[in-house]
A and B are shown apart, each in its own frame.
Chain A
């Protein structure tokens, strides 16, 4: 892994604006992905983790979603500002994305082979035959048995795991520098999930492809990621390398999340939980957004939202959006 940043979000804000309401799904989010890194983006439903991915890809067609602030730097350019035509060249070719439901991302009326070659031909000036060869090669690389036959089949003839492999093959076929995987194994059975995670790991290790892995599953994070960004209510609340995060979470939310996850072999009498519920976007609490659910709540938390504090531990930089981190901070966002 190198230190070069392939993708960087600074202070990104994405809002869903309709006639009668504005909700801020992503509220000042900053993080970056290094070349060859697997970055985990975790959080519970509604925390804005998927919306940041859609913002990077600018996939807001037919929704009132709009980037209203901040920047997404990729290849030396702020890609929130480039034209749609320029963006279309990046989307799929430079940054690819796979989704939770592989079935709904594939065209149900088109054969797998056609879908793959079409994507390849759109971005590369090669002959149809070469594109077909490449598609076939990609299917073999993602571990699909009887790839030739599969080129002539439709998505509904394949299982969920196989469709996800096809999506990964499609994502990789243009050799992008970043792959965004949004809950890629959430809809799959655990034995199939293990296969897909293994595949993604080998893609990262062998091709050095950077992966932004969006998930709610801390097990998947621990297994796959080098570094982790934790989101809550549209904000980044913590960022750390994976070992520090699990060994010593700094933010009370991260702490709660780890404690409330049942772990095989742990055998605890009673699970810890975080009281209350995730706040809704149009009814955010004053001060710290996690305040009402936090065990370390103090008066100040109800009045002032904490900034993201930078903390140095054993030479490694971590970030935490909590007043409890203020005393050890060496800087802030």
Chain B
């Protein structure tokens, strides 16, 4: 198994100042995260709002500078390389965003939107680019006539297809998809998920898939990383995570998802309280304030992630012994 991406202890702290002369504090959006993505794999980052999953995605493709840690991409350490040296690498890592409204320039026609990465990263001439855009539109299932239309002429699902066409235009190795189907209606969501799966198979892509939707994540992932307040709670393969979740947060998260089957009644773990602020995360295990299995040690000692077998990693005192 060859690693395409490896992140080592990455951190992103955003400075904030509270009040007029308030003391300097920082939001620890990502605070010491480790994982890797194998070539051809779909790794998902799941968690609730503010857990740092989107920031992690942006750190991997270096859309944000790191506060600490290292990012290895395709064998090369890209942590400290300069922007001009980074640019050719960007061809290999593309992004798909949640809101296809705001990620497509409303004044550009589809042709321009999809061919822009080709303009930046290849030396194709106008005719070659046109041909390539036509091919791409066909691949993502948009009608031929789309090439001269503007984004507002499309529905949400079709717009997301434009975003996907743009992302795959330069044959990237990695695609970071940040909540790509969250803004779509279910009947359209499944069309886009199927398209993403087909493309991954056909083009041998590697995905970092970011989502809060655990049903979608189960459907698309090979492995899953559960994040809570900037840290990793659990990393496991899909089967390990959904059949044998170990972290109390993962268990609660899975039990909270409403199941569309009224004949199934489950025991649900209802977590107390709200997600704490990432400015002042709780001491000890950052989940202990809401944990239904909290012990004394959890309040003081942050648990270190531990491999409990077959690459199943859990950061919880219950699994440290």
Residues of A within 8 A of B (CB): 44-45, 145, 159, 161-162, 189-195, 197-198, 216-223, 242-243, 246-247, 256-258, 260-265, 267-268, 270-275, 277-278
Interface size class of B (residues with CB under 8 A): 35 or more
Name A191's contact: one of B189, B213, B253, B260 (CB within 8 Å): B253
Q: Which of chain B's residues have a CB closer than 8 A to the CB of A221? A: 260
Q: Is the CB of B274 within 8 A of A218?
A: no
**Contact present for B271 and A272 (CB under 8 Å):** no
Complex CA–CA separation, A228 to B223 (angstroms): 36
Please report the C-alpha to C-alpha distance between residue A265 and residue B257 in the assembled complex, in whole angstroms.
11
B contacts, CB < 8 Å to A: 48-49, 155, 157-158, 185-191, 193-194, 197, 212-216, 218-219, 242, 252-263, 268, 270-271, 273-275, 290
Please measure, in the bound complex, the distance between the C-alpha atom of A212 and the C-alpha atom of B157, giving whole angstroms.
29
Also in contact, A222 and B260, with CB within 8 A (given A191-B48, A262-B190, A272-B190): yes
Known: A271-B193, A272-B190. A262 touches B219 (CB 8 A): yes
Q: Which residues of A contact B271 (CB under 8 A)?
A: 191, 194-195
Query: Smallest CB-CB separation from B259: which chain A residue?
Result: A219
What residue of chain B has the Cβ atom nearest to residue A280's Cβ? B155
Shortest A224–chain B CB gap in Å is: 8
Evaluate contact between A190 and B48: CB separation under 8 angstroms.
Answer: yes
Nearest chain B CB to A145 CB, angstrom units? 8
Q: In the assembly, what is the distance between CA of A243 and CA of B273, in Å?
A: 32
Task: Tell me whether B194 and A264 are in contact (CB under 8 A).
Answer: no
Closest Cβ of chain A to B70, distance in Å, is: 31
For the complex formed, measure the closest distance between the CB of B303 and the CB atoms of chain A, giving whole angstroms.
20
With the chains together, A151 CA to B223 CA distance in Å? 45
Query: Which residues of B have CB within 8 Å of A217?
Result: 258
Further 17 A-B residue pairs, CB within 8 A, beyond A190-B214, A256-B187, A260-B189: A159-B275, A162-B274, A191-B256, A192-B274, A194-B256, A219-B258, A220-B258, A222-B259, A246-B262, A258-B260, A260-B187, A263-B259, A264-B214, A273-B188, A273-B190, A277-B155, A278-B155
Q: Looking across the interface, which residue of chain A has its beta carbon closest to that of B47?
A: A189
Q: Give the 6 A-B residue pairs with the shortest CB-CB distance, closest first.
A: A219-B258, A189-B48, A44-B185, A273-B190, A274-B187, A218-B260
CB pair B186–A194 under 8 Å, yes or no, is no
- CB neighbours of B216 from chain A (8 A): 262
What chain B residues lie within 8 Å of A260 (beta carbons)?
186-187, 189-190
Give the distance in Å from the alpha carbon of A324 to the alpha carbon of B260 in the complex.
25
A222 adjacent to B258 (CB under 8 Å): yes
How far is the CB of B256 from the nearest CB of chain A, in Å? 4
How far is A221 from B186 in the complex, measured between Cα atoms in Å?
14
Q: Given A191-B253, A193-B256, A277-B157, do A44 and B187 touch, yes or no (CB 8 Å)? A: yes
How far apart are B180's CB and chain A's nearest CB, in angstroms? 14
List, in ascending order, chain B residues with CB within 8 A of A198's CB.
Answer: 268, 270
Whether the pair A264, B254 counts as a contact (CB closer than 8 A) is yes
The residue from B49, B187, B219 contacting A189, defined by CB atoms under 8 A apart: B49
Report A201 CB to chain B, min CB distance, Å. Answer: 11
